[in-house]
Structure 1
């Protein structure tokens, strides 16, 4: 690659112009010349940015040069081999191939104990018969090791470490990383195979995790996982969109020769390869240990993750004399840092919008080990908790895993900021006003909010609800983007022709989904109730409601305060078109709050009525009828009544029942083999789902509740059970059954499964 002196006449190096003449005015020779100047200039600017960390132009200017080069190459069909434009990613691969390394990429011995480090030094000194050894000291990067090969200065291939002998071919993905030069610069060797560490910078990792959480996806646990997952993408365009970088730190094979690891470190940047600047040479092991301690002190200030340091005998001839074992070199050792435990720094807070419109703040953290698991996000639950904790970005916090499952922020250990996190006044997804309901916050947009609409439809088709196979998160998003659905009722109006027009769909897959939806037109009543997403109404409560009331219309009539004679009469909007007075979509079906959006079912005056006299004229539903149902208390009864009272919900229900006929429950169905017994289930079962197990118990006269109490007869424990239920069983003296013991109990009582 050319140096600044070589490019003195290149107009795109110093203060480059960006007001290009239209491409159409160039002939092919002029276009080819300009493209080559742009390529050389962009390589130069890449080197200044990634290797020297000293850019000479701004991002907008760089982007303009890059876009012009793409335009020239595309318009004139110019050869793009080795061009910087290849960083945007090529065609997707069917699978990653395998590559044999030019030299073994071994692992190294490691320990977090200083005694082991000194023992390593003693072995080295004995092997070399010297009193002291000079060590090359470098950070141990927590990323993904790769081999990158150059021939005649040109980038040829890249591979992951794999088993040390054979790795995965990630040539096209590594090509997209800006800090990997496509062509070496200066007096480079004819052949060069270097070892590097691909990583995701911490700032970029937090920003990327923020995007994932906002989109409803799981956050990556740590930057290493994020880098590894990105580098193994089959579509290089996805890799190109993600913020990866690389440090080069060793030569695996080369036509050049080196006397020391320090010389390698000095020469790599001359060829355009980025190295780390926290490298030192220590005169002896004591100085090397001091180096490690200093890096431990600053690890939290770095924009990349390190989990220790590496000591290498600096002299290359001495390394060859020491040789290697079958698995690791005798001349290198990693001195590991202790794992971060429980205390970490809060880097960002992102607000998620749930299916019901509830806004949940999520803390994005420096990765920390909690209970043996690395976490990078934790719940802050609600704005009231943020205020109680007094937490803000930059604070040192303690993280705990609630019930051994969900991590949350327990307390602020050290305050490094002013004030607390500012909770948004508007929904971060749709911009609707945020309304507070006690300690909680909700988006008032209802199903006009894309986050609520998408997740409500996903829930409607989920396993515990109507279990519509093939209608997962990605498909729902695709249907929404195409404008084919806005509410669950729209699902039943889809046609094969609608679906086959979408990317990735064929006639067979379209027919399969339509068949699944047709099969869901006569769902069991309890599953339909779950599908509606009424707050606090899960599978157990839904089954209890179905058994008590028998039919959907009976439940709806009770919730709306109608008599049996009134049931079946017009109870929704006149036209059932799910629009408000202003003609805008105002659907809040599957939401947990009434139409006024604040959760108390009132008109804004706090009286829960129209005239302010305190009488519940609007919400005249029969709460007492619901409170007589097992597992339904006052709050759940309120949720049910408020759900059915909402005009928007009623409009959606009217549209749904045009397509769906919930089947009446057989109130007296089943035997009495388990009469008088109450079961609670925790964890996942092998022979049947928890929902099916609960239904089986109730069908044979027993009760299945969601929480352990003194009235519980058995707690049935599956895989990965919740600790809270087990603790409650211990406190209440409730016997526990493993799944096989539960099955044995069923067999003893003659219950067929």
Structure 2
């Protein structure tokens, strides 16, 4: 191993860097001083091994040796009171979060313009040349950095003084989900940077699941009787949004970094490199993983050649890509070209052609969703499309079937857009007469099918068994009635055993009923009954959200509850009255009225109330202490942003998402977004941290944080 100041651990001073490893003394024979020293050495060595394995693909020790080091560190931390805040052992799990909180990005995470043909790439180069000339640069003096366009989940990661402090998904480019604890478990992402990083470094990367790891993980899911993931991208995205970090830690996620979003050198840190190429070299010094398939080229012809070679090598890569990114190298010229509202002018994605195959439609089945929507699905003669076997494809709705003219027996083209979601763009050979006759009755309950534009719905409502299972799961969700122990498998069991034929039947269950079922015991049965008892007096907004009314999510349910105050007043409201509520337009009002007027749904509501489930009225007037004021919230608060907004709105204020001249206060929690702070400065809007905000509310006799 080459000695370097950028390493986490030097083998001449750390005995755990190279094999053979020394033997460990018994834990009980160590003093606290010895344990603290050994833990410090082990952490440094493990970080070094993580870097050599994930970043440099050049491991120093065997997997067995690594496991010995890791297990020993965990034993020391369990046996002695040694600090664990920045320990690698924290990457194997953590405390589950209640929800994914929205956070503003330090800098915008923009999209990138793209095309699938070379002429569009050459046109991009011409725009770059013209832009450089207009800005006073030599248009012939330019280089491009070429790199793969990863097919994973884009994230922002923030380091301060070299230490990992936050991660967020891309979201809408301005605001994303806080996934700090989830990303902390990904071994490829260092908790502490190497070398001499700047005071603040904000980097953009892509979380993905390697192909081999994806296949192995799907085999494990099938063996456990679980539904396999459709593709690696869905697996990565679904995993990162898990609320329990320990679940994320169990899944084989990896990551690459490819861009700097912000670089603050601080008092004595290194200056930001002048080129994108040198920024990637800085990633190597800091121990941030990046792909080695990056090239620096002198003209657009070489960039196009890079794309063609990468396309040819695509199937041999261990990770998914759907094109290449071509970006101007010099950062000064990038700044001169600037960006549009959605994308930089100095970068372009040259996408790969879509992967298509042809196959035969063997059957068409119709699925019934929780809202009663009927979705036709084409059952295909299995065909490999881009390395993934496709056997089922959604046909979306009856109008799509009619437009395609597709029926059983036809030969169809299967297309995978972005290598993710397969669909049928055309029939290549009609072997049937006409198109599939969409059923006029629900295939599950036999209720009439109603058409709304291109869509079809079962009119059975909560009386339809297919809708019921999903309705029960929806009723039990955290943002609805929050009933623990009612996952999909248990709901299916309750239905199969005939214990739950309708939503109100949940409240007829007994401990004896549940304890008699396979896989249940007295404790789990009692826990569910207790949770059901606790849900008999839900807040009105959660009751409405739990009903699963189409177009009514938690936010709209909250607006309805605050507008009408109690359930009976809402049940009697006509469409015109409903439309007077914030967030309720004609379409939503019609959906609410249609749901509440359906005989099966009204009967289910009545039977719930007969069983003692009575939604609690809310105060329709919260006071006018904040009347006329407008607030904007940014960063992480001790409560969710929705709760903070609801609090000020309940007392007469407005809560908006962007700062303007009409904004009275910007409330800035932890890790606030830079753009809102800048807008507040430009508009001379006062900025309050959470403590100052709490004092402001106290002056108006309003408690913070809000309580139920």
User: 1:325–1:226: structure 2 CA closer, same or farther, 3 Å change rule?
Assistant: same
Q: CA deviation at 1:162?
A: 1.2
| SS of 1:297 mapped into structure 2 | helix
Structure 1 residue 75, shift from structure 2 partner: 1.2
For residues 631-646 of structure 1, the aligned pairs below 5 Å read none
Q: Larger Cα Rg: Structure 1 or Structure 2?
A: 1
Whether 1:494 aligns to 2:509 is: no
Aligned to 2:80, which of 63, 76, 80?
76
Hey, what does 2:152 align to over in structure 1?
143
Structure 2 residue 511 is the aligned partner of structure 1 residue 507 = no
Change (3 A) 1:91 1:131: same
Residue 304 of structure 2 is aligned to residue 289 of structure 1 = yes
Q: What is the correspondence of 1:435-514 to structure 2 with a 5 Å cutoff?
A: 463=465, 474-475=489-490, 494=515, 499-502=521-524, 505-508=527-530
Q: 1:474 to 1:20 in 2, by over 3 A?
A: farther
For 1:173-572, what aligned pairs fall within 5 Å after superposition? 173-254=182-263, 255=265, 256-342=271-357, 368=388, 463=465, 474-475=489-490, 494=515, 499-502=521-524, 505-508=527-530
Inter-partner Cα distance in structure 2 for 1:33 and 1:364: 54
Q: CA deviation at 1:319?
A: 0.4
Count of aligned positions: 413
Report the Cα offset of residue 502 of structure 1.
2.2
1:494/1:25 CA distance change after superposition, 3 Å: same
Partner of 1:248, secondary structure, is strand
1:275 CA drift (Å): 0.9
Instruction: Report the Cα distance in structure 2 between the residues aligned to 1:498 and 1:222, rounded to whole angstroms.
Output: 33
Give the distance between the partners of 1:324 and 1:372, measured in 2 at CA: 41
1:456-493, Cα deviation, whole Å (9 max, x unpaired): xxxxxx948998978875338999xxxxxxxxxx9968
Instruction: Report the alpha carbon displacement of residue 11 of structure 1 after superposing the two structures with TM.
Output: 1.1
Greater relative CO (CA pairs within 8 A, separation 6+) = 2
The partner residue of 1:115 within 119, 131, 134 is 119
Alpha-carbon displacement from aligned partner over 1:590-612 (angstroms, at most 9, x marks no partner) = xxxxxxxxxxxxxxxxxxxxxxx
The DSSP-based 3-state class of the residue aligned with 1:226 is: helix
Mapped to 2, the partners of 1:511 and 1:319 lie a distance apart of 61
The match for 2:177 is: 168
Report the Cα distance in structure 1 between the residues aligned to 2:128 and 2:309, rounded to whole angstroms.
24
2:670 maps to none
Offset, 1:503:
8.3
Q: Offset of 1:336 from its aligned partner?
A: 0.5
Q: Which residue of 2 aligns with 1:125?
A: 129
The answer (yes or no) to whether the contact 1:500–1:506 under 8 Å persists in 2 is: no
Structure 1 residue matching 2:356: 3-state secondary structure: coil
Q: Counterparts of 2:227 and 2:15 in 1: how far apart (Å)?
A: 46
TM-score w.r.t. structure 2 length? 0.53
2:37 counterpart residue number: 33
| Cα distance in 1, alignment partners of residues 163 and 422 from structure 2 | 48
Structure 2 residues without counterparts, runs of 5 or longer: 134-138, 266-270, 360-380, 396-412, 425-463, 474-485, 495-510, 535-596, 601-708
Deviation at 1:227, TM superposition (A): 0.6
Cα 1:363/1:335, change in 2 over 3 Å: closer
Q: CA deviation at 1:216?
A: 3.0
Gaps of 5+ in 1: 345-360, 376-397, 409-461, 480-489, 513-685, 690-753
Q: Deviations over 1:302-359 (max 9, x none)?
A: 0000000000011111101101111111000001111211289xxxxxxxxxxxxxxx
8 Å contact from structure 1 (residues 133, 285) kept in 2: no
CA contact (8 A) 1:132 1:284 kept: no
CA distance in 2 between partners of 1:257 and 1:139 (Å): 23
1:214, distance to aligned residue in structure 2 (A): 3.0
Give 1:685-724 correspondences, 5 Å limit: none
Question: What TM-score does the superposition give when structure 1 sets the normalisation length?
Answer: 0.50
**Cα distance in 2 for residues equivalent to 1:167 and 1:464:** 34
CA distance in 1: counterparts of 2:414 and 2:194, whole angstroms: 47
CA contact (8 A) 2:166 2:180 kept: yes
Q: Residues of 2 paired with 1:323 and 1:474: CA distance? A: 52
